[in-house]
Structure 1
Amino acid sequence: MASGWANDDAVQEQIDSSIEDAVQRARNQLPRGESRACCEECDTPIPLARRQAIQGVRLCIACQVEQDKQQGAAAGYNRRGSKDSQLR
């Protein structure tokens, strides 16, 4: 339920905008181009099956897992902020 100067659809618009941002961010992270034979980070060979499965792959599985962990820590952005921060 919106209140104050916001219209009734303000909350839904905020949710939709957050989802659109997340989808765009995920699309931007998709690999493009030709797959590499060796990992960019550690220079280990990337298996042929992985190169065929993921077009434009640049990292071996171990380096990809590490990169995903680092990006996961930055994920979860909440436009509205926590309830506690709104009460202060």
Structure 2
Amino acid sequence: MASGWAQDGAVQDQIDSTINDAVDRARQSLGHGESDHFCRECGEPIPEARRMALKGVQYCVNCQTGRDQKQQDHAGYNRRGSKDSQLR
């Protein structure tokens, strides 16, 4: 329950913001366009089956797994919290 200087519904606004950020990240991770033939990170060939299965794939499985892990480590933090919640 929000209190102090926070407006009514501030907690729900934070929850909504966190969910919207997660949805935006998921949409950005969807592939678009033509897939690359070689990984942008390590230069290894990307298997044809992977290129056919995913639109716009740019990384091999190993490099993509590492990128996903880094992104997951930073997910879930809502930095738009009310000033009231930051002062506690």
TM, length-normalised to structure 1: 0.76
2:38: which partner in 1?
38
Deviates more, 1:65-74 or 1:15-24: 65-74
Identity, % of aligned positions: 62
One-letter amino acid of the structure 1 residue matched with residue 74 of structure 2: A
Deviates more, 1:2-11 or 1:68-77: 2-11
- Compute the RMSD of aligned alpha carbons: 2.4
Deviates more, 1:50-59 or 1:21-30: 21-30
2:76: which partner in 1?
76
Q: SS of 2:20's equivalent?
A: helix
Structure 1: gaps (5+ residues): none
- After superposition, residues 8-23 of structure 1 pair within 5 angstroms as 8-23=8-23
TM, length-normalised to structure 2: 0.76
Q: Distance in 2 between matches of 1:59 and 1:31?
A: 11
Name the structure, 1 or 2, with higher relative contact order (CA <8 Å, separation 6+): 2
Deviates more, 1:1-10 or 1:17-26: 1-10
Structure 2: gaps (5+ residues): none
Deviations, residues 26-76 of structure 1 (Å, cap 9, x unaligned): 212322210011111122111111111110000000110111122222222
Q: Distance in 2 between matches of 1:69 and 1:41?
A: 15
Q: Give the total of aligned pairs.
A: 85
